[in-house]
Copies of this chain bind each other. A is one copy, B any other.
Amino acid sequence: MGISKNQIKLVQSLRLKKNRSKQRLFVAEGVKVVQELLASSFELDALYVEERHSTIFAAFPFQDISEQELKKISALKSPNGVLALFRIPKSNTTIEAGLTVALEDVNDPGNLGTIIRLCDWYGVKNLVCSSNTVDCYNEKVVQATMGSLSRVSITYCELDSFLSTFNGPVFCADMEGENVYQTNLPSDGVLVMGNEANGISESIKKTCTRSLTIPRFGAETVTESLNVATATAILLSEFRRKLD
Contact = CB atoms under 8 A, between A and B. Distances in A.
Main secondary structure of the interface of A (DSSP, over half): helix
Contact of A217 (B114, B121, B215, B218): B121
A184 to B, nearest CB: 14
Chain A, interface size category, equals 35 or more
A151 B218 CA distance: 9
Interface string A113-132: 01001101111100000000
A224 B215 CA distance: 30
A216 B121 contact: yes
Copies in the complex: 2
A164 interface: no
Interface of A: 36, 110, 114, 117-118, 120-124, 146-148, 151, 179, 181-182, 214-219, 222, 224, 226-227, 229-230, 233-234, 237-238, 240-241, 243-244
17 contacts: A114-B230, A118-B226, A118-B230, A120-B222, A121-B214, A122-B217, A147-B224, A151-B218, A151-B219, A181-B241, A181-B244, A182-B244, A215-B244, A217-B240, A230-B230, A233-B234, A237-B237
